[in-house]
């Protein structure tokens, strides 16, 4: 009997929230040319001489604020996701790896290849972009292990329904003036070179909105987490929040579809920094729809999506289950 494997891949996290470990993580992450496309001869001296010394202590402070007894929330939720999918697919070998740090993608794949006949690799990023996916795909190919790669899943109806159901659960609790679908930004230069990320983000908002029970005119798409001086995808979340407050729209609900699990961007950037800025400019209510965070329905979706890669007739991506 064939034995199948599933490798869930997330971005990664520092080993600990100490300056030393955060610096090592940032160095690896920001040295990736899929993330920062500047020439190495120009970027590396800038990174080591200015960026890392200035950014490490600040990032370490943010990680310390969000760190739990079990570790980094992103790592912890990925582990929970892995374990839940393993229970749903007891005959499969479910593993996890990180683009940066541990567990290593190549090492994990080689261990799986020793006893798994077919291996599915699922990056835990619904929308494809060079800055997240290409590094994963390159590491997978460099391993020499044959796999089935899932490029994206933003277009899957079940994912969109899960996204919408999360919003519909939160929306009735208060009188929100706007619902912001906020995605991690990327440099506009990547989009100009053909990266489909912006189109996939807009398609995600439109796809989820069709299932929403709230007034659709309240929904907007914005981008967050800008890094560096170059232009990134707009509109920026920070600017939109200030504009809404100035217009008297003081109650906002944030949705973060590009993050399937809580991480630095959702916990620190949004719930602390953006919340404080919104309040400082006249905003009143700033709430966030929790990410999937390994909830049972999302785990079932991941299991079914993976089965579909091996046997298209068995793993139905949009069966009649109601959410």
- Report the SS3 class of residue 9: strand
Give the domain 4-9+75-152+294-310 fold: Rossmann fold (3.40.50)
Binding positions for Fe(2+) = 184, 265
- Report the SS3 class of residue 15: coil
**What's residue 319's pLDDT?**
43
**What's residue 276's pLDDT?**
96
Q: Are strands 93-100 and 118-123 parallel, antiparallel or unpaired?
A: unpaired
Residue 294 is encoded by which pair of tokens?
Answer: 């390994």
Q: In the chain, what is the straight-line distance between the N-terminal and C-terminal CA atoms, in Å?
A: 34
Question: For the chain, which residues make up each domain, given as ranges?
Answer: 4-9+75-152+294-310, 19-66, 157-288
Give the domain 157-288 fold: Rossmann fold (3.40.50)
For residue 10, give the H/E element and its range: strand 4-12
Spell out the alpha helix ranges (H) of the chain: 19-30, 40-46, 52-66, 73-88, 105-113, 135-143, 157-170, 188-192, 197-209, 237-246, 264, 275-280, 296-310
SS (H, E, C) 238-291: HHHHHHHHHCCCCEEEEECCCCCCCCHHHHHHHHHHHHHHHHHCCCCEEEECCC
The closest alpha carbon to 179, from 167, 191, 188, 161, belongs to 167
For residue 118, give the H/E element and its range: strand 118-123
Number of Cβ within 10 Å of residue 82's Cβ equals 18
Binding positions = 184, 265
Task: Give the C-alpha separation, 71 to 16, whole Å.
Answer: 8
Residues in Cβ contact with 303 at an 8 Å cutoff, skipping those fewer than 6 apart: 85, 88, 89, 315
Residue 168 is encoded by which pair of tokens?
Answer: 């519909």
pTM for this prediction: 0.94
Specify the residue for token string 């994912």: 159
- Contact indicator for 310, 4 with CB cutoff of 8 Å: yes
Residue 149 is encoded by which pair of tokens?
Answer: 């790669």
Do domains 4-9+75-152+294-310 and 157-288 share one topology? The answer is yes
Sign of CA dihedral 212, 216, 218, 223: positive
**What's residue 314's pLDDT?**
57
Number of Cβ within 10 Å of residue 256's Cβ equals 25
List the chain pLDDT tens, one digit each, 323 residues.
568 999 999 999 999 999 999 999 999 999 999 999 989 999 999 999 999 999 999 999 999 999 999 999 999 999 999 999 999 999 999 999 999 999 999 999 999 999 989 999 999 999 999 999 999 999 999 999 999 999 999 999 999 999 999 999 999 999 999 999 999 999 999 999 999 999 999 999 999 999 999 999 999 999 999 988 889 999 999 999 999 999 999 999 999 999 999 999 999 999 999 999 999 999 999 999 999 999 999 999 999 999 999 887 654 444 433 33
């Amino acid at each position: 009997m064939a034995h199948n494997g599933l490798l869930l891949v997330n971005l990664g996290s520092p080993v600990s929230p100490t300056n030393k470990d955060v610096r090592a993580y940032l160095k690896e992450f920001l040295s990736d040319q899929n993330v920062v496309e500047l020439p190495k001869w120009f970027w590396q001296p800038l990174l080591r001489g200015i960026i890392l010394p200035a950014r490490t202590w600040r990032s370490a402070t943010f990680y310390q604020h969000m760190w739990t007894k079990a570790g980094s929330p992103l790592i912890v939720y990925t582990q929970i996701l892995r374990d839940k999918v393993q229970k749903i697919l007891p005959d499969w070998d479910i593993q996890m790896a990180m683009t940066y740090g541990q567990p290593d993608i190549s090492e994990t794949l080689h261990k799986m290849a020793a006893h798994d006949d077919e291996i599915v690799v699922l990056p835990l990023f619904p929308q494809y972009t060079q800055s997240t996916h290409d590094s994963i795909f390159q590491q997978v190919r460099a391993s020499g292990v044959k796999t089935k790669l899932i490029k994206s899943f933003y277009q899957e109806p079940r994912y969109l329904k899960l996204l919408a159901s999360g919003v519909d659960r939160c929306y009735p609790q208060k009188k929100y003036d706007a619902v912001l679908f906020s995605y991690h930004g990327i440099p506009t230069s990547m989009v100009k070179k053909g990266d489909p990320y912006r189109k996939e983000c807009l398609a995600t908002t439109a796809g989820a909105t069709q299932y929403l029970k709230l007034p659709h005119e309240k929904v907007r798409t914005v981008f967050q987490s800008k890094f560096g001086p170059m232009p990134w995808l707009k509109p920026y979340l920070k600017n939109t929040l200030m504009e809404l407050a100035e217009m008297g729209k003081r109650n906002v609900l944030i949705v973060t579809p590009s993050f399937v699990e809580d991480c630095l961007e959702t916990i620190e950037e949004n719930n602390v920094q953006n919340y404080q800025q919104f309040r400082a400019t006249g905003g009143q209510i700033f709430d966030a729809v929790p990410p999937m965070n390994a909830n049972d329905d999302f785990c079932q979706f991941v299991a079914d999506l993976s089965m579909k890669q091996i046997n298209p007739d068995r793993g139905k991506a949009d069966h009649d289950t109601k959410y």
